[in-house]
């Protein structure tokens, strides 16, 4: 087993680093661009659910099951450009 680990480390050192070009604009111009933020939440949730979710996030108040179910359903209706994370069904390899 220890030889296998040594071989893996040896192979890793043979790999070359990938060149990465930094964007020209300021970080603040694109930081959080692919995040499902409050503006996007507001677009997809009704007012009551949105307020309950924000209260949970900001103040740590419990989220009732009905509200949690509505938030959970978001990944089914939000387009992939707005929801950059893998969706639950994608993690389970279900399409």
pLDDT in tens, 44-94: 899 999 999 999 989 999 999 999 899 888 878 888 777 777 777 777 765
Q: How many domains is the chain partitioned into structurally?
A: 1
- What six digits make up the tokens of 31? 């930081």
Average pLDDT rounded to a whole number, residues 25-38: 78
Residue 20 in any domain: the answer is: no
pLDDT at 47: 94
Residue 95 in any domain: the answer is: yes
Residue 13 in any domain: the answer is: no
pLDDT at 54: 92
Secondary structure (DSSP) of the chain = -HHHHHHHHHHHHHSPPPP-PPPSS-HHHHTTTTS--HHHHHHHS-HHHHHHHHHHHHH-PPPPHHHHHHHHTHHHHS-TTT--SPPHHHHTT--
CA angle 36, 70, 51 (to 5 degrees): 65
Residue 9 in any domain: the answer is: no
pLDDT at 26: 85
Domain around 91: 31-95
pLDDT in tens, 8-26: 888 888 888 888 888 888 8
């Amino acid at each position: 087993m220890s030889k296998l680990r040594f071989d893996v480390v040896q192979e890793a050192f043979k790999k070359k680093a990938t060149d990465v070009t930094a964007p020209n604009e300021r970080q603040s111009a694109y930081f959080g661009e692919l995040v499902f933020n409050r503006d996007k939440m507001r677009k997809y949730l009704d007012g009551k659910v949105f307020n309950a979710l924000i209260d949970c996030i900001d103040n740590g108040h419990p989220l009732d099951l009905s509200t949690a179910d509505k938030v959970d359903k978001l990944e089914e209706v939000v387009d992939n450009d707005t929801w950059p994370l893998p969706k639950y069904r994608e993690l389970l390899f279900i399409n």
